[in-house]
Chain A
């Protein structure tokens, strides 16, 4: 009986040698500077227009308040804006700049924007062919004829997947921090940011609001992003077990993730959509205190929905993988 650690070593090395992670880091190194440049342009523009950050914040509040009065703005956007206005107002009233241009805030906002599409796509690059590539190249015949029980092999792949999902998220944060720091400076870990805004009907309840450092905020964000990335990874893992072709499993998962992003923007009136995993992926809204895509969703609810999906996917993966006949 081969030792489980050796199996994990095997799988980890295979993913590494396939240069999957290298490609992901490369994509990050190309994309992040683009976003940093865009952010820099915005910052420069704001510097020209506004005397200080407070003025900019005030203008955002006023602009959003004005947008609220328009009848053409859909209800759910209004709700989102009301929450935003109240949060910005809270920041302004407590004289805390929520968007100091520094590497930490840039990384925070990059992660928040990446959680819905970008991170899932990168995770899929690893997860989608973890099992299906063994089948399409035929190496599974070597793998499964070794004296190791099949569940151990699948388990080692699952552990490997977890390790790489973690690496991807830390790498995303690290690349984003290091690149943006060149422009915005590496300071900002200790600056305060408010969390704990709760939605109470159409209003925001600020009773639990408290300040944490941007560094702590970043770590929490990464933790939440990691959880939803893990769920995407586990579902892709299941598809990868079920489907022989890597391309098919990649497309299936991408379709699911993208439709989730679209649904999140328009499904607020379709209530049962909240039980879909892909609408629940953006856990960061709960940390930010923005309204969730659909009424009635809370952090606990989303975690439960994602958890159930992940567990079901794992059960299917293990049941199928340990029993299936390798016919080709």
Chain B
């Protein structure tokens, strides 16, 4: 009848008491750390980040791509979410017969050239630029057209003022130059591809010529920068949508739709092959 000596209570009691004390300590430590922060531990030296090696693409078994820029890089307007970046990567992979990996798509909606130059100083982003064998860049559209602030309907050209475009263009040129310079400084060996601007108002008679001229000038400037660099290219897109603007633009009449992006991707891939 006698009950066996029970170990249950002593062990249960001590273990649960130990847990309580541990948690109380953790709680106290959390409060102390929140209200009287200590210096903190030393950070381990970061592992060196990979850098693109340059050399012929044929010799590499894998290509790394980083895309940077505005909503075109992001793929805004493409209902399938692919954008031209994904399309380009897929086409390249097929054409080159080796894995092509997208490191990052760093496209940010509404990004202007001035913001991009700031972002390029960011430690975290430098790595993505440095390791890429191919850098895809779109920038400048927002600077020129200020879509976000535009009140009028884009289909009619909104309140696009060609005079204003000209002045903006003058301010924008040095920024693009800075972008090229910074990219090259971060990544001495990678190929830079700048996707040129197109004229979204080609179907608006009043703006076809005037805006077209501004776009031409801009693309020409970009091409000169690329030539100076030597390992860069500008992919022209102004002619892509001329045949049927409405077919390739999305409902906002500014960004391409899925078909439009596919055409851009095709053009970019062709340029690179």
Chain A: residues with CB nearer than 8 A to chain B?
A: 8-9, 12-13, 16, 50-51, 54-55, 57-59, 61-62, 65-66, 69, 89, 92-96, 162-164, 166-167, 169-170, 192, 195-196, 208, 210-213, 216, 219-224, 226-227, 286-287, 299-300, 303
A219 lies within 8 A of B26 (CB): yes
A95 lies within 8 A of B22 (CB): no
Residue-wise, chain B 33-76 has the 8 Å CB interface mask toward A (1 for contact) of: 11101111111101101000000000000001000000000100
- How far is A89 from B106 in the complex, measured between Cα atoms in Å? 13
Chain A at the B interface: SS class = helix
Interface 9-residue window, one of B10-18, B199-207, B212-220, B226-234: B10-18
The reply on B268 being an interface residue by CB < 8 A is no
B26 lies within 8 A of A226 (CB): yes
A170 lies within 8 A of B108 (CB): no
Residue of B nearest to A163 (CB): B16
Chain B: residues with CB nearer than 8 A to chain A?
A: 8-9, 12-13, 15-17, 19-20, 22-31, 33-35, 37-44, 46-47, 49, 64, 74, 101, 103-110, 122-125, 127-128, 131
Interface centre among A166, A216, A222 (most CB of B within 10 A): A166
* Least distance between B35 CB and chain A CB atoms (Å): 8
B49 lies within 8 A of A69 (CB): no
Residue of B nearest to A220 (CB): B30
Hey, which chain A residues are within 8 Å of B27, CB to CB? 220, 223-224, 226-227
A51 lies within 8 A of B17 (CB): no
A163-B16, A170-B23, A208-B37 given; A62·B43 CB < 8 A: no
Residue of B nearest to A225 (CB): B23
B16 lies within 8 A of A58 (CB): no
Hey, which chain A residues are within 8 Å of B25, CB to CB? 219, 223
Hey, which chain A residues are within 8 Å of B17, CB to CB? 163
B16 lies within 8 A of A166 (CB): yes
Hey, which chain B residues are within 8 Å of A51, CB to CB? 64, 101, 103, 131
* Least distance between A23 CB and chain B CB atoms (Å): 16
A16-B8, A166-B20, A287-B34 given; A95·B46 CB < 8 A: yes
